[in-house]
Amino acid sequence: MKLKSINHFFAFVLAMFIGNSAMAQSAQGPEMADLMRSNGKIYIVVAVCLTILIGLFLYAWTIDRKISRLEKEK
């Protein structure tokens, strides 16, 4: 199973280098967001989600620190 997933990872890296145009051309098979990936636009979605995640965690972190300060006051 482990070997399989490593293979999987290498296949992914390879696919990234070659570019996904080959995959987009094969029209048969279920439709996936290949176009989005070949345009590079999916990375924008990742960036947006990461920004939101970072923002939420920073917010939670400041609340955490405020509570820590309250705990120290006693």
Partner 1 sequence: MTFNYFCLLGAVYHNFAPLLKSRLAAVNKSWWKILSFLLLVYTIVAGFLWEVPRLDILNETIRNLYFHVCMWFGMMILYGISFAYSIRYLRGFNYKYDIYATHFASLGSLFGVLGYITGAIWVSVTWVTQSGQSLGTVLKEPKLIGAAIALLIYGAYFVLRGSFTDMDKKARVSAVYNIFAFVMLFPSIWIIPRLVGSLHPGSPGSDSGNPALDQNDLDAGMRMVFYPAVIGWTLLGIWLATLRIRLQLIRDKSITHEA
Backbone angles phi, psi at 60, to 5 degrees: -60, -35
Q: How far is the CB of 49 from partner 1 (least distance, A)?
A: 5
CA dist 37 and 45 (Å) reads 11
Q: How far is the CB of 46 from partner 1 (least distance, A)?
A: 5
| Owner of token pair 């990936």 | 37
Applying CB under 8 A, which residues contact partner 1?
A: 1, 4-5, 8-9, 11-12, 15, 29-33, 37, 42-43, 45-46, 49-50, 53, 57, 60-61, 63-64, 67, 70-71
